[in-house]
Amino acid sequence: VTPQLCLSAHLSSTTSFLPSPPPQPWLLPHCSLPEPTIVCDSVTCVKETCNYNLHCTVRDGGDNVTYSWTHTAGGAVVPNGSILHISLSPRDAHLNVTCTAQNPASNSSTTVSAKGLCAGKSLSPASSLSYCHLKGIILLLVLGALSAGIIAVHVLPGREQRRD
């Protein structure tokens, strides 16, 4: 385990007749950031386009961490924030995204392939529709079994008693 490098700023006090200003938040200690972690929250594919939701975090980053994203198609910077929503077509599927975490003392980045990171998490409308059909079929089977049980327990014994 490597120790974290921390940076702090100090004010020297001098005698003055003016009131001193309150301490500023940028004067608080800040530590160098470890490498961010990118997690695939979800991916939904419709036709030939996949919509990815990625989340970037830094362990023990504190409150003064800001996040930004870039991707390899021209290095475009996308809106700041720890969550990235990106749509990729099959021809763009090889593109990587980079999350950069920054605080006043340092910055750190991680680059991943959205397609590789989210592999196996894809939900397409066709698969969720077939899942709904499967639930409906199971429900019908359960209702059929219950109906057969009610008939076997209540209706058939009543008919045999009438014949006697």
Architecture of domain 30-123: Sandwich (2.60)
Instruction: Give the pLDDT confidence of 52-95 residue by residue, as tens digits.
Output: 899 999 988 777 899 999 887 656 666 678 999 888 887 887 88
User: Per-residue pLDDT for 1 more than 50?
Assistant: no
Within 10 Å of residue 19's Cβ, how many Cβ atoms? 6
Please say whether the beta carbons of 68 and 56 come within 8 A.
no
Instruction: Give the pLDDT confidence of 31-50 residue by residue, as tens digits.
Output: 788 999 999 999 888 888 88
Q: What pTM was estimated for this model as a whole?
A: 0.57
Task: Assign 29 a pLDDT band (cuts: 50, 70, 90).
Answer: low
